[in-house]
Structure 1
Amino acid sequence: MKKVMMTSIATAMIASALAAHAAQTSQPVPRGIVAVRADGDVNALIEGVNKAFHDFKAEHTKQLDEIKKGNADALQALKVDNINADIAKLQAAVDAANEKIVAAQMNSATGALKDKEYTEAFSAHFKRGDVQAALNKGTASEGGFLAPVEWDRTITDRLVVLSPMRGLCAGQTISTAGFSKLFGSRGTTSGWVGETDPRPETNTSTFGMLTYNTGELYANPAATQQMLDDSAVNLEAWLAGEVETEFALQEGVAFLTGNGTNKPNGLLTYITGGSNAAAHPWGDIKTVKSGAAASLTADGLIDLVYELPGEYTGNARATMNRNTQKAVRKLKDGEGNYLWQPSFQAGEPATMLGYGITEIAGMPDIAANSKPIVFGDFKRGYLIVDRVGVRVLRDPYTKKPYIYFYTTKRVGGGLLNPDVFKALTVAA
């Protein structure tokens, strides 16, 4: 019952938001969403996606037939593009509903604070600057004014939802400035011998090391003292919301394209030809050509999936941006089956050749020599490193009457295993 209620609330919020957007922009709500009432659930959205995709397949087939006959129809092409855009909006609504369900489950696991004394002490310091011993509870060696344990945990949970890479990749919490990992070269050899044959020495594996350094991510929201004095809202939740949005935006970019200078080393930098292509002891992330100089092909995507060894495909998925997903949606295999398929149940993503798709806005667009799709097992392939603790420093002096809440978190990231990824490069 609780899960159904959270699902209904999430779906209603999305339907309301889309309707409001339509009213402001004078654009119609996509087909399938109009049927979602405030008391509906995510299944109605999924039905809308599947109906729109059925219409898309029919109209796209007509368009291709007319092109083969030499009768390209601009109106037919526009109709297909409009339906395609509707599918994108509907699928995005499904994905957003799934994220809201996850967020609701995270935030409603228990109504009680895990560290009530510490949270109350932080609230007192937040409003008035009162210093209490409990502010350093559990972290006396670090000193400073720290965010309460519950507040810190809430931000971390929400970042998993807001930042797609955090939801996909492995995580490691550290208590020092950096984290180093050893990688064996797999150089051990063996041989077959007879009973009395000599046993010469065989090769032994060597080791390489990769260090995952952290950079400092910060936010500096402000509020007036009167707002803090008079506010009846949950000020900790307000600050957490401010921070999580900014942190998720910055992290999402860095985990993909970060150059390692005061930030993580981004996944895309480890692909062949990237700035970190030679950084990992096991080499770089290999590429597969799309099959066309400036576009995607069905054969190229099939090659991408099957170039990844079978032992790494169990939890594999494809990451791409929305424009790329729009192009993938139009591709068919040799038997006329579409490579893209919509979600069929709540909590499940759209798929490409049977593997889940995660939409990440920071992925490159389709263009000559770009790498718009990465396919693989992200849990085994990329590591996100978090330095313990979110720090909050209350600053009432810099700009009176505003109180600044200088919030920092040290984050790093880098490649774990290049073998579990393949990247699609747009090339003939």
Structure 2
Amino acid sequence: MSKHMNPAKVRGIVAVRADAGGGNDLKEVLANLQKNWQAFKDTQAEKDKEVAAKFDDVVTTEKFDRINSSVSELQAAVDQANAKLAAMSVNGGGAGQVKDKEYTDAFRAHFRKGDVQASLNKGADDEGGYLAPVEWDRTITDKLVEISPMRQIAQVQQISTNGFRKLFNEKGTGSGWVGETAARPETTTPTFGSMTYTTGELYANPAATQQMLDDAEVNLEQWLAAEVDQEFAYQEGIAFVSGNGVNKPAGFLTYVTGAANAAAHPYGAIPTGVTAAGAAAVTSDEVIDLIGSIPTPYLAGSRFVMNRSTIFSLRKLKDGQGNYLWQPSFQIGQPQTMVGYPITEMPAMPNIAAGAFPIAFGNFQRGYLIVDRVGVRVLRDPYTNKPFVHFYTTKRVGGGLLNPEVLRVLKNAAA
């Protein structure tokens, strides 16, 4: 942190700029990030001199920790803005023209007063409740992409049934050399394996008073999305990383060698690319070796996945030429990087600890599949908790390993 900038001011900038998400505000955040990154490197140089002199100045250490925290906060603001851009790109720019005005208007009337109109029947099905209008569904999906990091980097498949079955070619086609008139005996044929990706049900049950719903100034779409998306994204974030697959997605870490789903995929488990020598630390060589553990054909599109605490710890690592492995975002739309590869901050990833898997690396677009059962459903309940009206909202989501060959993890040594 620059000596002219206090921590409170930095935190204030982050909060405002993260909401702004672009324009001059975000450019100011980028400028501050670059300034603080330079201060980080200068302070690290001071610490290196102290280490060489076998002297530890607590003032320098405290200054270094403040700068490191500031860099993390500013980078988080840039990441949040980039996530909004990603959500707009994935979902066509967010809410647009109403596609089914009659149904949308009928649903809003039901939402406010409980009115059931004939046009609303198209939203009913055998499972009960009503399908949310396209605009509402899209709003919640936009927010999930923005908040849930895995949705930004994994492959997402919409399905219309409870499960999705995928075949995997396990190869095995035989061949041979023959002479012009030699016999051509039958060769071996390839075999296939399969995996079924089933969905679990995510739910939220926000409530509002009838007076709130009567207020015409309330933006119901935004209110519903705000109540639902945070909880959905939180639950998804955990499940996509470490979910056990029972009524929820199977997290990718459960497919690592030795984990619960190690034998579930026809291609095998996700290999441990590197086992760190330390139980509570990771070295620059180990990070570079993790990249090298991925076969060259699979490196395109690869990225690091780790939580903020791990990023915080790795930020001071350098290569053999004294260059920092971590680099901040340099412009809008670009992520932070490690050894030139993007980093996705994943809060559900484990911290650096004995026997943990704090870092994953690879192409998650080819490595992990999210399946969405199309449609958000909302059941209006004005009876259970008067005077509140509850909106029981559900979305069916699944997930699992798509290809273990394109992913690797780093494991800390046991204690």
The answer to whether the superposition gives a TM-score over 0.5 is: yes
Give the residue type in structure 1 aligned to 2:323: N
Aligned with 2:145: secondary structure? helix
In the alignment, structure 1 residue 413 sits paired with structure 2 residue 399: yes
> Alpha-carbon deviations, 1:146-182, whole Å to 9, x = none?
2112111211121111111111111111111111111
Q: Which residue of 1 aligns with 2:245?
A: 260
- Following the alignment from structure 1 to structure 2, what is the Cα–Cα distance between the partners of residues 132 and 40? 47
Please tell me whether the aligned partners of residues 95 and 138 of structure 2 are also in contact (alpha carbons under 8 angstroms).
Answer: no
1:3 maps to what in 2?
none
Which letter does structure 1 place at the counterpart of 2:317?
A: L
Amino acid at match of 2:330: F
Per the alignment, residue 79 of structure 1 pairs with: 63
Correspondences of 1:244-323 after superposition (within 5 Å): 244-287=229-272, 288-323=274-309
Contact 2:154–2:368 (CA under 8 A) maintained in structure 1: yes
Equivalents in 2 of 1:53, 1:159: separation in Å?
Answer: 30
CA distance in 1, matches of 2:172, 2:249: 30
| TM-score w.r.t. length of structure 2 | 0.90
Which SS does the other structure have where 2:202 is aligned?
strand
Q: Distance in 2 between matches of 1:170 and 1:101?
A: 17
Q: What RMSD, in angstroms, separates the aligned Cα atoms of the two structures?
A: 2.5
Matches within 5 A, 1:15-414: 27-30=7-10, 33=13, 40-101=24-85, 111-137=96-122, 144-287=129-272, 288-414=274-400
Q: Secondary structure, in 3 states, of the residue corresponding to 1:403?
A: strand
Distance 2:51 2:128 in 1: 70
1: CA distance, partners of 2:266 / 2:120: 43
Name whichever of 370-379 and 196-205 sits farther off: 196-205
Q: Shift of the alpha carbon at 1:89?
A: 1.1
Q: Could you tell me which amino acid in structure 2 is paired with residue 352 of structure 1?
A: M
Matches of 1:348 and 1:325, distance apart in 2: 17
Which range moved further: 387-396 or 192-201?
Answer: 192-201
Q: By how many angstroms is 1:420 displaced?
A: 0.7
Task: Give distance in 2, aligned partners of 1:407 and 1:389.
Answer: 11
After TM superposition, the structure 1 stretch with the greater mean CA deviation from structure 2, 232-241 or 256-265, is 232-241
How far is 1:112 from its partner?
A: 2.8
SS at match of 1:218: strand
- AA of the residue aligned to 2:354: A
Identity of aligned residues (%): 60
Question: Within 2, Cα distance between the matches of 1:284 and 1:189?
Answer: 25
State the TM-score, normalizing by the size of structure 1. Answer: 0.88
Distance 2:39 2:255 in 1: 40
Q: Secondary structure of 2:116's match?
A: coil
Secondary structure, counterpart of 2:164 in structure 1: strand
Contact 1:381 1:415 in 2 (8 A): yes
2:403 and 2:196 map into 1 onto residues whose CA distance is 14
Aligned residues: 403
Residues 136, 146 of structure 1: 8 Å contact kept: no
Cα deviation for residue 304 of structure 1 reads 0.6
Q: What secondary structure sits across from 1:137 in the alignment?
A: helix
CA displacement at 1:230 relative to structure 2: 2.9
